[in-house]
Amino acid sequence: MRKTIIVSNRLPVKIQEQDGAYVLQTSEGGLATGLGSIYREGNNIWIGWPGQFIDEKKQQDKITTQLRQMNLLPVFLTEDEINSYYEGFCNETLWPVFHYMSVYARYVESNWDAYYQVNQKFRDKVLSVAEPGDTIWIHDYQLLLLPGMLRAEMPEISIGFFQHIPFPSFELFRLIPWRAEILEGMLGADLMGFHTFDDTRHFLDAVARLLPAQTSANVVSFNDRAIVVETFPMGIDEKKYATLGMDPEVKSNMAQLQEAFKTEKMILSIDRLDYTKGILQRLEAFEQLLELYPQYVAQVVLYMIVVPSRDTVPQYKQLREDIDQKVGHINARFRTLNWHPVQYFYRSFPVEMLSALYNFADICLVTPMRDGMNLVSKEYVASRINNDGVLILSEMAGASKELVDAIIVNPNNVGAMREAIVEAIKMPLEEQQRRMKLMRQLVAKFNINHWVELFMTRLKEVNAMQQKMLAR
Ligand code: G6P
């Protein structure tokens, strides 16, 4: 029987150490939910890193057995690989350059070597289960070389690739010393997907300028193969967020929020710790709001969740300290006896709390400096079943191409963000409802299942087209 193999750097489970034993926790993330309908079926499988350094062979075998029962196949990384592939090349080279923050990028030959070797490690794991006729769907920037490596071994196999982060303009991408190798790796796929039209265009541009390849519209001819490059904006599990408000635990969390914030308007901000998210600029805009509009002192609160992430990478460590300092500064400057302007949490929260916050917050402030898509903005919209609430969204987030009824801001323009908050606070209910309704319709229609189906259908069509061309 033909099967589908999903490959991503992380598996959709987290391994946690508890009293010397390892416990598996399934991920709540959008991708895990969306692909759940695929990898759990029949003999389909998801290959990836379980996110923890596990040294002992005995432990690895035990975890593998557990994961296999869930249609998951682990790739274990050594400590060196975590340092040089994951933290090094993925998060200190590709991540900053692809997010237009090349000043943070380091170009270290040994990290590139590790990236190459870990992609080979993933290749070998895929080859250990792949059979002719299977379909392979590879995800994200950690595995850019994998499509090419698999193509070399299995020329006929169907490969889709989706990149979840932006693809930068050529002037940024060309900075990477291994740029041609990266593109060649990606072009091992049959279908390449990006979130936005601009990412797609930038990729095609880079290919045309760096490789001996022909590009015509959205098709690349390279090494006697045709590769289709298209835009697939990712959605969320909209129903889950639209109905979570009915959950008793969510309701009880909302009642507590109501009790704690009786009169204040709540501005919500939720991100992973990352310099691409514009957290400091957002805090600056909030500080300016309190400074220039003293009538809002004790009337608004910024509820800010930062989820710990990559905190062994130096820039992330620094950012965490800068946020601590800025929050401390704002709270010290403006707090009153019973009111803290910024309610800051550096930890992750269960979905029942996130849903309560999405339901409760009057305003959601999503202002990344650059973001592939940004699913928080869509989760907020999906949660607003009464159609009220205001979304302020950065024009640098992929989601801004779809959620055009948000208040769209340039995150580099702190003054404009401050004024957007004022506009949001003052926005009449009818106007909130008009905008939110339109956004909710969009989020409901182009949900995660739609995205998965669209990509898989398109991959089949592309393969059929290639078969026809070969037959000629
Ligand atoms: C982004 C990337 C994902 C990544 C996630 C969390 O959304 O597109 O590939 O898994 O961040 O980052 P982490 O480094 O913890 O996997």
pLDDT tens-digit readout, 94-138? 999 999 999 999 999 999 999 999 999 999 999 999 999 999 999
pLDDT reported for residue 21: 80
* Distance, CA of 207 to CA of 183 (rounded, Å): 7
Predicted pLDDT of residue 365: 98
- For ligand 1, what atom is nearest to the CA of residue 142? 9
Q: Which of 27, 89, 163, 272 is the best mutation target for the ligand 1 pocket, counting ligand atoms within 8 Å of the beta carbon and taking the most? A: 272
Q: Which of 140, 362, 371, 405 is catalytic?
A: 371
For a mutational test of ligand 1's pocket, the pick from 83, 99, 140, 271, i.e. the residue with the most ligand atoms closer than 8 A to its C-beta, is: 140
Region of residue 78 (phi > 0: left; psi between -120 and 50: alpha; otherwise: beta)? beta
DSSP state of 140: S
Q: Has 164 been annotated as catalytic?
A: yes
Neighbouring CB atoms inside 10 A of 446's CB total 19
- State how far the Cα of 305 lies from the Cα of 244, in Å rounded to an integer: 19
- Whether the complex's predicted ipTM is more than 0.85 is answered with yes
Atom of ligand 1 nearest to the CA of 309: 15
Most distant CA pair in the chain: distance in Å?
79
Whole-number Å distance, alpha carbon 250 to ligand 1 midpoint, is: 26
Atom of ligand 1 nearest to the CA of 165: 8
Ligand 1 site-directed mutation target among 27, 196, 309, most atoms within 8 Å of CB: 309
Please give the number of the atom of ligand 1 that sits closest to the Cα of 139: 9
Contact present, 227 and 264 (Cβ < 8 Å): no
Predicted local distance difference test score (pLDDT) of residue 314: 92
Spacing, Cα 333 to ligand 1 middle (Å): 35
Choice from 75, 165, 270, 379 to test ligand 1 binding pocket (greatest atom count within 8 A of CB):
165
Ligand 1 centroid from CA 141, angstroms? 9
- Tell me if residue 371 is catalytic: yes
For ligand 1, atom 10, which residue shows the shortest CA distance?
A: 10
What pLDDT does 439 receive? 98
254 in Cβ contact with 360 (< 8 Å): yes
Residues near ligand 1 with C-beta < 6 Å?
10, 140, 164-165, 309-310
Using the atom order of ligand 1, give the atom closest to the CA of residue 372: 8
Give the span between the Cα atoms of 269 and 366, in whole angstroms.
Answer: 6
Question: In 200-225, which positions are buried (b, 16+ CB within 10 angstroms) versus exposed (e)?
Answer: bbbbbebbeebbebebeebebebeeb
Catalytic residue among 99, 134, 140, 164: 164
Nearest CA to ligand 1 atom 16: 10
Residues with Cβ within 8 Å of 89's Cβ and at least 6 positions away in sequence, in order, are 108, 111, 112, 114, 115
Report whether 393 contacts 399 (CB < 8 A): yes
Low-confidence ranges of the chain (pLDDT < 50): none
Q: How far does the centroid of ligand 1 lie from the alpha carbon of residue 402, in Å?
A: 22
Is the separation of the CB atoms in 142 and 21 below 8 Å?
no
Cα 55 to averaged position of ligand 1 atoms, centre (Å): 23
Alpha carbon of 165 to ligand 1 centroid (Å): 9
In this structure, the residue with its CA closest to atom 9 of ligand 1 is: 140
